[in-house]
Amino acid sequence: EVVLTQSPGTLSLSPGERATLSCRASQTISSRFLAWYQQRPGQAPRLVIFGASNRATGVPDRFSGSGSGTDFTLTIARLDPEDVAVYYCQEYGSSPLTFGGGTKVEIK
């Protein structure tokens, strides 16, 4: 089972600042099978990034994903108040599919 560890637990930034979220895998995984989801309070998750670096339909271009091997990053270039949410990474190349514990992004 691939264990995904996300850091930091909480990120508190001002509007317009850059947010960098980390996801570390317990073993090497293919970047083809790494996704990021955004979950706003009281809502279902929403796909943001798939295949480590591909934006999902309708996702603003301030969101970008990168990484390979065991280290992956989600970057929000200029934080907007609507980006307040918990972000989860997910590995879907092997069974069981696993999620990281999440990073909460707050606005200062």
Partner 1 sequence: VQLVQSGAEVKKPGASVKLSCTTSGYTFTNYFIHWVRQVPGQGLEWMAMVSPGVGSAYPQNFRDRVTLTYNTSTSTVFLELSSLTSDDTAIYFCARDQVSRRYVIPAAAFDIWGQGTAVTVSA
Judged by the rule CB under 8 A, the positions of this chain that interact with partner 1 are 30, 32-33, 35, 37, 39, 44-47, 50-51, 56-57, 88, 90, 92-102
Q: How many residues does the chain have?
A: 108
Nearer to partner 1 by Cβ, of 16 and 96: the residue is 96
CB of 26 to partner 1, least distance (A): 16
Enter the tokens of residue 15.
């509007």
Nearer to partner 1 by Cβ, of 11 and 17: the residue is 11
Q: Which amino acid is at 98?
A: T
CB of 105 to partner 1, least distance (A): 15
Nearer to partner 1 by Cβ, of 41 and 81: the residue is 41
CB of 71 to partner 1, least distance (A): 19
